[in-house]
Structure 1
Amino acid sequence: MRTPNPSSGAPRTAPADLSHAHDSAPRPRRRLAIPVPRGRLAWITGVASSIWLAANTLFWCLLLFPMALLKLALPFAAVRRRVDPVLNGIATAWVSCNTGWFVRIQPQAWDIQGNKDLRYADWYLVNCNHQSWVDIFVLQYSLNRRIPLLKFFLKQQLIYVPVIGLAWWALDFPFMKRHGKAALRKNPDLGRQDQEAARRACAKFSLVPTSVMVFAEGTRFSEDKRASQGSPYRHLLKPKAGGLAVSLNAMGERFRSMIDVTIAYPDGAPSFWDFACGRAGQVVVRMRQLPVPPAFCEADYTRDKAFRTTFHQWLGQQWQAKDDEIEALVSRGKKSAG
């Protein structure tokens, strides 16, 4: 097991002006303050952002698909080791273009701490809370070119999304079928099928440096979902341990560390349209690297009841700390705004 290199502890207090800052990056050039788009200007910005995102996606996918066909035609590990880095590089360029645009239209929004001591040529497990589709853009901006391309667990239905669904398949994003509790009680094998699919995906990831991204809540947070779950947390749903546990069991020895990411929106979680219009409000991101316990890489989550209990307790402690941190970040952001 490789010795993790935990973050040395970024300051936990947010800068008063919520400036755009990365811990490990050189100090960025000062950007001119851009007023938050309003009214018709916001609508025009949103349309321009949507067109840019669609055109940028189509451009990079046209470069990606020929390499994907080569990988499909020659499904050998030696070929994958050469083709996968090219595919990941194309996707990374796509992410860079997207984030460059979104940051440009709202440079005042970002407060990011803890994304240092990371290595691009390594493996990471990333765990984050989930409030909005905007979370994905926030994560990509915070971690792009600092760690390998983030690979998400996706719903099986998303493979049919035009263009981008095929791109996700080419990049080996794992597609999972979501089964309700009633279906799982009736047929427990359904859950094991998803876990086996995750294992197969992780086996592919072991060939080249990869970042496996997990939203442990399994869905976006809302007050209605929190109430229906009876969640004990103020800002989070109950975490689902299966995806994390399977990833650790399949690839734990590869992971340099687990990056625990907390995203908070003191002005309220923005929709994609708000984000595209340049009205995201404050975006606060805190990260810390956690060592991967060696026992988690060896135990069988599906069959070992004692390990499941231990794992749930460990994840529950992480989730309580995350909930407390979100409460502090949201409160601090509201005070600074007032």
Structure 2
Amino acid sequence: MLNFLPRLLVGVIASLLLAVNTIYTFVILFSFALLKFLLPFRPVRVVIDSVLNFLAENWISGNSAWMWLTQKTRWDVAGVDGLKYRGWYLVQSNHQSWVDIFVLQHLLNRRIPLLKFFLKRELIWVPVMGLAWWALDFPFMRRHSEAFLKKHPEMRGKDLETTRKACEKFAVIPTSVMNFVEGTRYTAAKHARQQSPYRYLLKPKAGGIALALNAMGDKFQSFLNITIVYPDGAPTFWDFLSGRVKRVVVRMNQLPIPKQFLNGDYAGDANYRQAFQAWLHELWLEKDAQIDRLRQEASKA
């Protein structure tokens, strides 16, 4: 491993390896994405989507390789046993850093189907990756403010419908739908601004996950609840690249999805919406307590 080198050099090497892996993989991926665009027929799409997912999984494997080469991270992981690659999962996790995505991909690659993240619509313009996310059918969401929707009521529900159509595509082949229900990365400033009732979490936003259940709830095998803790503090992406992430603690728990939440109307049914929010709130209280326990255990290690 190269972690003995100066941090700056480790970061440069990791950045170059990530760039090479990304460019090599997605040059191939885009050629299949073009076929997908030109031949939008279900039998063709099933084959091409499988190839695209295979390429994305190889990209993740390449990232795991350079992580092994450049990092000296101590992983404390529990809950990966019993996961199935051929199945449908609804996945959620707390969110603190861009590093979360690499952590999740590294641990879940080829243990469950490729993670498809809910993304902010603006991320489609990210060079290279934006086009790749589009090709892989990642659902892009535009979150309008309530003030905007009052001025443009015709836009209410438009983004939800777009996301519903994206989720319906996932019924074709096994997929893991990933949602950071906090909607953004945790920071102390955001936590204070929200007046969050949780110690380590922002308030959860139930709309995206409820929409996924509405679109394909009967497909999901289970709800994979993930908690990520960085005992030495949430890292920046450069911290990660330069090998400064010493410890990562991850806990995964497969939960049954309550039947009453399958195929419900979150936007139009007030009783359903209230019950769903209460269920998610209880999960968030448990996750907050779990983070506190894990932090205390890590401080004693």
Considering the TM-score relative to the shorter chain, is it more than 0.5? yes
User: Which residue type is aligned with residue 110 of structure 1?
Assistant: W
Structure 2 counterpart of 1:306, one-letter code: N
Partner residue, 1:164:
129
Q: Is the 8 A contact 2:167 2:215 kept in 1?
A: yes
Partner residue, 1:129: 94
Match for residue 255 of structure 1? Answer: 220
Give a deviation string over 1:293-314, Cα, whole Å, max 9, x none: 1221122001000011100000
Amino acid at match of 2:105: Q
* Shift, 1:242, TM fit: 0.1
> In the comparison of the two structures, how many residue pairs are matched?
301
Q: 2:260 aligns with which of 276, 287, 295?
A: 295
How far the C-alpha of 1:278 sits from its partner, in A, is 0.7
Q: Are 2:96 and 2:186, in contact at CA under 8 Å, matched by a contact in 1?
A: yes
Matches within 5 A, 1:87-236: 87-236=52-201
**C-alpha displacement of 1:35:** 9.0
Structure 1 partner of 2:237: 272
- Structure 2 distance, partners of 1:255, 1:287, is 16
- For residues 143 and 277 of structure 2, the distance between their equivalents in structure 1, rounded to whole angstroms, comes to 20
- Determine if the alignment matches structure 1 residue 324 to structure 2 residue 289: yes
Match of 1:71? Answer: 36
> How large is the RMSD of aligned CA atoms in angstroms?
1.4
Cα distance change of structure 1 residues 73 and 135 upon mapping to structure 2, 3 Å threshold: same
SS at match of 1:233: coil
SS of the aligned residue for 1:302 comes to coil
Query: Is the contact made by 2:3 and 2:72 (CA closer than 8 Å) also made in structure 1?
Result: no
> In the alignment, what sits opposite 2:25?
60
1:50 lines up with 2:12 in the alignment: no
The AA in structure 1 aligned to 2:205 is K
Query: Where does structure 2 lack aligned partners over 5 or more consecutive residues?
Result: none
- Tell me: CA distance 1:239–1:153, structure 2 relative to 1, closer, same or farther (3 Å): same
Runs of 4+ in 1 over 3 A off after TM superposition: 34-37, 184-191
Alpha-carbon distance between aligned partners in 2 of 1:46 and 1:334, rounded to the nearest angstrom: 27
Could you say what secondary structure the match of 1:252 adopts?
helix
Deviates more, 1:72-81 or 1:97-106: 97-106
What SS does the aligned partner of 2:58 have? helix
Amino acid at match of 1:247: A
Would the alpha carbon gap of residues 331 and 191 (structure 1) be closer, same or farther in structure 2, given more than 3 Å must change?
A: farther
In structure 2, what residue type is equivalent to 1:330?
R
Return closer, same or farther for 1:327/1:189 CA change in 2, 3 Å cut-off.
farther
SS at match of 1:259: strand
SS of 2:223's equivalent? strand
Indicate if the aligned counterparts of 1:151 and 1:210 stay in contact, CA closer than 8 A: yes
Q: 1:191 to 1:318 in 2, by over 3 A?
A: farther
Kept in 2, the 8 Å contact 1:65–1:167? The answer is yes
Corresponding position of 2:6:
41
Q: Provide the C-alpha distance between the structure 1 equivalents of 2:149 and 2:285, rounded to a whole number of angstroms.
A: 27
Mark the CA change 1:188 to 1:225 in structure 2 (over 3 Å): closer, same or farther.
Answer: farther
TM-score (norm 1): 0.86
**Separation of aligned partners in 2, 1:335 and 1:181:** 45
SS at match of 2:81: coil
Instruction: Tell me which residue corresponds to 1:312.
Output: 277
1:11-50 equivalences under 5 Å are 37=4, 41-50=6-15
Q: Tell me the CA shift for residue 189 of structure 1.
A: 4.6
Q: Identity of paired residues, percent?
A: 54
